[in-house]
Amino acid sequence: MKFAKWSFYAAALYGFISLPPLYFLETMAAPGLTHPEYYYGFIGTAIACQILFVVIGRDPVRMRPAMPAAMVEKLSFVVALGWLYALHRLPGNMLLFAAFDALWAALFIASWRKTPRT
């Protein structure tokens, strides 16, 4: 249970540090942005997910049913970036962010498997 607790807390801390600056870096992070509502909506949704990670970390056994949603949140970003890179619509350096989310997804999957159902 400690593994799950620390995996979700660490992921939340990483998100709370890395996401809020994006609110102030639109021109650097997304040059030529044509739909700012998607950009800012993504950031807000991602920050909301960090709150979910804290909630899961507080009581992994009780919140085990929410863990698959956390996995989907991480894996959807990995798949999206991988797909965009395969289509030559994303620079290779962005795959670093996909790698971080792939690591978090792996930790979330391991946490889910190690956490008892009751």
In tens digits, the chain (118 residues) has pLDDT values of 899 999 999 999 999 999 999 988 877 767 777 888 888 999 999 999 999 999 999 999 999 999 999 999 999 999 999 999 999 998 899 899 899 999 999 999 999 999 999 7
User: Contact 94/80 with Cβ under 8 angstroms?
Assistant: no
Please tell me the pTM assigned to this model.
Answer: 0.89
User: Contact 66/24 with Cβ under 8 angstroms?
Assistant: no
Q: Of all residues in the chain, what percent are helix, strand and coil, respectively (each to 5)?
A: 80, 0, 20
Residue with the two structure tokens 């807000």: 44
